Chains A and B, each alone.
Chain A
Amino acid sequence: MVNQEEYIASGILELYAAGALSPAEQQEVEQVAAASPEVRYALDEALVAMEGYARAHAVTPNPALKNRIIQQIEDQQLEREAMAAEVRPLYGEQESSPYKWMFAASITLFLLSGVLSFYFYSRWQTAENRLAQAEAQEQLLAQNFNTVSQRVAQQERLVRLLRDENYRPVKLQGVEAHPEANAIVYWNPSQQNVFIDQGQLPAPPAGRQYQLWALLDGKPIDAGMLQQDAQANLQQMKQVGAAQAFAITLEPEGGSVNPTMEQLYVLGEVQS
């Protein structure tokens, strides 16, 4: 603790009053004075002395100076009130607006991107579905076209056979047990080519297949198996050089060496 009497006697208070101290020293004096009434009193005495000295030099300034000063202060005050009322919020807005704007923009973009993502996702899904449908349709069309063109080829072949004088149509008629069955064989004896038009044959049971036979002098000659799925088509069979009749029997899958006569379905003689 500072010794008060010594402090007062040091002359620092007078220096303070005369404005001879640095700001740090001034602050120190103020602190000591605040803590000690004696120092405070001595300091005030010194201050009063210097105030008196200052007053002794008093000079009345130009009377116009007062108006200038009051005017400036009032203008400043009005300006400040105006700033507080208008410019401040504007400033605040301007200061934070890039961030606010960016924040708002980022949220907007986020929401927008979400909406757009969903929109484009559903569009993409729709497009995928339509593409799959289109591909399936195209496959179907291609299949249909294949079928049609195959049929056309068959028909052309049939037309060719029918027009070809070398081919003899042999009509196979259903036997007693299968009166509704029929088929046509087109045979070219010189080229030995045989085609079969299956006509009306009941669907064979599982594990069974129709077999064509050529009959020559009472002996059956294997002319090949009938394809089940090519019922409507003209099917080329094994070559046959000479025949008096053709017959179709139902045989186990893969065919038999000799026809099962109980299973004879159709039979037709070659017209000479």
Chain B
Amino acid sequence: MSREPQNISEEELVARLREGDTKAVSQLYDMYNAALYGVVLQIVKVEETAEDVLQEAFVKIWNSFPSYDASKGRLFTWMINVCRNLAIDKIRSKQHRVSLKTREIPASPRADMGSDSFKPEHIGLREITEALNPDQKLIIDLMYFEGLTQSEIADEYQIPLGTVKTRARSAIKVLAKMFKGRG
């Protein structure tokens, strides 16, 4: 199950997308669908909603591709941001909140399965969870998957804002150490 870029370089893919080559979307999907879907699913929790969000996100990525500036940031980061923003908008919409009111947040039921879809050299979630302490992981997850601001986290979890900032920094430093040279 190899979904990673292999046949085509990112530069070539970007160029083809910029030209409006619809076939490049297929390539783009193959390369990033699992990673993006995983992020969206983490945010919206519901598979059906996650699929809708991913579809919406790909259409948006396709339509707003001319605005993607490679010098400003990496393609994957840009795409994740599109997905995250749509997913966070979704969970913040009233409708979704109501539908989720009684639902418990599942503990990433397919997260471990998802990690199987990576090549052996990729670091799995279990490794990361072991490397991060629970406080750090919580802060990162709240920011990254819940779209909460640091002051919102501080308010909701009764943690001083300074501590939230420190934990976020240290979490990313741990991750950076783990992923160094893999970007």
Contacts and interface: CB of A to CB of B under 8 A. Distances in A.
B96 interface: no
A34 interface: yes
Given A14-B172, A18-B168, A30-B72, A61 B179 contact: no
Residues of B in contact with A, size category: 35 or more
Given A14-B168, A15-B168, A61 B77 contact: no
B140 to A, nearest CB: 6
Contacts of B123: 52, 56
B54 A61 contact: yes
A65 interface: yes
Residues of A in contact with B, size category: 35 or more
Contacts of A46: 172, 176
Interface string A68-98: 1110111011000000000000000000000
A77 B22 CA distance: 8
Contacts of B84: 19
B34 A48 contact: no
A62 B51 CA distance: 8
A85 to B, nearest CB: 15
Interface string B52-83: 00110011001100000001111011001100
Interface SS majority for chain A: helix
A54 B35 contact: yes
A48 B183 contact: yes
Contacts of A73: 22, 25, 58-59, 62
Contact of A11 (B76, B113, B117, B168): B168
B172 A60 contact: no
Contacts of A77: 20, 22
A45 B42 CA distance: 23
Interface in B155-181: 165-166, 168-169, 171-173, 175-176, 178-180
A126 to B, nearest CB: 70
B172 A57 contact: no
Given A49-B173, A54-B38, 17 more contacts: A15-B143, A15-B165, A15-B168, A30-B72, A46-B172, A46-B176, A50-B144, A51-B76, A53-B140, A56-B125, A56-B127, A56-B128, A57-B35, A61-B51, A65-B33, A69-B29, A72-B59
Interface of A: 11, 14-15, 17-20, 30, 34, 44-62, 65-66, 68-70, 72-74, 76-77
User: What 3 pairs across the A-B complex have the smallest Cβ distances?
Assistant: A48-B183, A52-B179, A49-B175
